[in-house]
């Protein structure tokens, strides 16, 4: 069953850059932006990562961590992070456990051929581990600003 808005996210463990194994519960106590992208190193995925990188300090200033995830190998994720200088970790979800928990595997069409792939999606998880917002079928341009606005709203609601 995919996680729905208002539900606590599952505590999934996933290999990550930097030789780590990250559990989603590691982020309790702060908000988490978890974004899924189709393939490391492709133009749209690179731009999305660069946009999140450029705003990383803004996210951190409102107590929010960022994680990127795809089905790429850990080696591909390490290379992607190193080449682009991302200040956040990337998850290598080769067994699709994380992708399935957030229902981001979709039937896609490219040049008339159908295949299963990752739908570009972003999830905002609050400090208690509850899914608060989701964006599916993301268009990269302007997306990070939209997510940052939602994070700021979430942060201001917690202070009220």
Measure the CA–CA gap between 137 and 124, rounded to whole angstroms. 15
For residue 45, indicate whether it is catalytic.
yes
Distance of CA 105 to the CA centre of its chain: 14
- Backbone torsions φ then ψ of 58, nearest 5 degrees: -65, -40
Measure the CA–CA gap between 143 and 148, rounded to whole angstroms. 9
| Catalytic pick among 9, 40, 45, 98 | 45
Cβ count within 10 A of residue 148? 18
* Residues with a known catalytic role: 45
């Amino acid at each position: 069953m995919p996680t729905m808005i208002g539900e606590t996210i599952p505590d999934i463990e996933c290999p990550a850059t930097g030789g780590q194994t990250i559990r989603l519960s590691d982020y309790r106590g702060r908000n988490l932006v978890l974004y899924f992208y189709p393939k490391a190193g492709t133009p749209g995925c690179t731009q999305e990562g660069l946009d999140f990188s450029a705003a990383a300090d803004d996210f951190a200033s409102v107590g929010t961590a960022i994680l990127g995830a795809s089905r790429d190998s850990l080696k591909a994720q390490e290379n992607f992070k190193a080449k682009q200088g991302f200040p956040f970790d990337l998850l290598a979800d080769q067994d699709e456990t994380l992708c399935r928990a957030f229902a981001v595997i979709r039937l896609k069409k490219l040049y008339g051929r159908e295949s299963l792939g990752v739908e570009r999606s972003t999830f905002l998880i609050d400090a208690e581990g509850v899914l608060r917002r989701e964006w599916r079928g993301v268009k990269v341009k302007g997306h990070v600003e939209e997510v940052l606005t939602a994070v700021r709203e979430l942060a201001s609601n917690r202070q009220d």
